[in-house]
Amino acid sequence: MRADRFSTSQFPSRWVSRALRTGVLMVALLPLGACDTVQSLNPFDKAEVYKPEVKETIPAEQLYNEGLAFVDKKEYEGAAKRFNELDKQYPFSTWSQRALVMQTFANFEARNYDEAIATGKRYLGLHPASQDAAYVAYLVANSYYNQIPDTSRDQERSEKALLSFQEVVQRWPNSEYATDAKFKINVVKDQLAGREMQVGRYYLKKNNFPAAINRFRIVVAQFQTTNQIEEALARLTEAYLALGVIGEAETAAAVLGHNFPDSPWYKDAYQLLQSRGLSPRESGDSWITKAFKSVGLG
C-alpha cells in the first residue's frame, strides 16, 4: 500500500472546503463548554501544588558504616541492601569497590548465593588485580559449592564450583584460600565422579554395556584421585567381560590390582575373571594403561 494513498490531494476540492468549514465551526464552539469540561477532568485541586520529591544524598562513608553495623549484628540482608545502595549512588568510586566486597560477603552469609555470585563476578570484572580479588573469588567458588545437589540431580553447580576453586588455586596459589580450595576441589571431583558412577550403574543394570563403559571411562580418565576410581575399574572389568572384550577386561582388573591391591573391588574383579578362566593381565596398548600413566599412576 502506498504511503500517500490517502493524501488530501486525492480528495475532491469540495470535501476539503467542507472539512475546513466544519473545523472552523468546531473551534468557534469549543470555548463555550471547554472550561467546565477541562476543570472536571483535572485530577488536582486548585490549591494543590506539585512538589517534586528530592531524595537526600547520604554520604558514602555513612552508608558504608551503616552496612558494617548491620554486619556486626549479623543482619546480613540489611547489610547487603546498604552496600548495594552505596554502589548505586557512588559507582566506580573507592567506596563502591569496598561496598562490592562487603555486599558479596553479606549475600554469602545471608545464603543469597546467586546474588553473591553476581556481585562477586562484577567485582572481579572491575578489579581483577586488587588485593581483595582472591577473597572475592573464593566467596564465589563457595557460593557454587554450597549449592551442590546430590548425585541424582544435574551437576552444573558442581562443575562451576570446580572451575572457580581451580581459578583460586591457579591465580592465587600462595593465598590463604588456596589450601581450602584444593581440598574442596577433591570433594567436588568426587561428587562429579559419583554422578558418572550412578549413571553407569544404571546402564549396567539395563545391560547397556557400551553406555555404561562410557560413564566409567570418564571416571578413569578425569577423576583418578577420587574415591570412585576403584569401583570404576571393577565395573569396567564387568562391562568389558560382558561384551567379550577380554583384553580390556583383564587390563582394568590388572590396573586395579596394581594400584589398589587390598581393595575389595579388586577381589571381586579377580574372582569374576577367574570364573571365566581368565586372570588380570595389563596391555600396554589399552587406553586404561595410558590414562593411568599420563598422571603418574600405574
- Asked, for residue 68, whether it belongs to a domain, the answer is yes
> Do the domain assignments include residue 62?
yes
Q: How many domains does the chain have?
A: 1
Let me know if residue 76 belongs to a domain: yes
Q: How far, in whole angstroms, is CA 250 from its chain's centroid?
A: 41
Decide if 280 contacts 253 (C-beta within 8 A): yes
d(CA 168, CA 142): 11
Q: Taking a C-beta distance cutoff of 8 angstroms, is the pair 88, 58 a contact?
A: no
Any domain includes 259: no
- pLDDT number for residue 57: 81
User: By residue range, what is the domain housing residue 121?
Assistant: 58-127
Joined together, the cell numbers standing for residue 195 give 554422578
Do 122 and 100 meet the contact criterion of CB atoms below 8 Å apart?
A: yes
Q: Alpha carbon 152 to chain centroid distance?
A: 18
Q: Cell triple for residue 88?
A: 548505586
What Å distances lie between residue 142 and 15, 32, 113, 163, 168, CA to CA? 77, 74, 9, 11, 11
Residue 67 lies in a domain: yes
pLDDT at 297: 54
Q: Is the pTM of this model over 0.85?
A: no
pLDDT tens, 23-61?
433 334 344 444 455 455 555 555 555 555 556 689 999
Tell how far CA 14 is from the center of its chain.
71
Predicted pLDDT at 24: 39
Instruction: Confirm whether 112 is domain-assigned.
Output: yes
pLDDT at 22: 38
Asked if residue 273 lies in contact with residue 241, where contact means CB atoms within 8 angstroms, the answer is: yes
Angle at the Cα of 87 from the Cα atoms of 82 and 89, rounded to 5 degrees = 95
Q: Which three cell numbers stand for residue 130?
A: 586488587
CA distance 191 to 176: 24
143/293 Cα distance (integer angstroms) = 35
Which DSSP symbol is given to 73? Answer: T
Q: Are 258 and 298 in contact (CB under 8 A)?
A: yes
pLDDT in tens for each of the 298 residues of the chain? 434 433 333 334 333 343 334 343 333 434 444 445 545 555 555 555 555 555 668 999 999 999 999 999 999 999 999 999 999 999 989 999 999 999 999 999 999 999 999 999 999 999 999 999 999 999 999 999 999 999 889 999 999 999 999 999 999 999 999 999 999 999 999 999 999 999 999 999 999 999 999 999 999 999 999 999 999 999 999 999 999 999 999 999 999 999 999 999 999 999 999 999 999 999 999 999 999 876 555 5
- Tell me whether residue 154 is in a domain: no
Task: Assess if residue 246 is contained within a domain.
Answer: no
* CATH code of residue 118: 1.25.40.10
Rounded CA-CA distance 121/137 in Å is 8
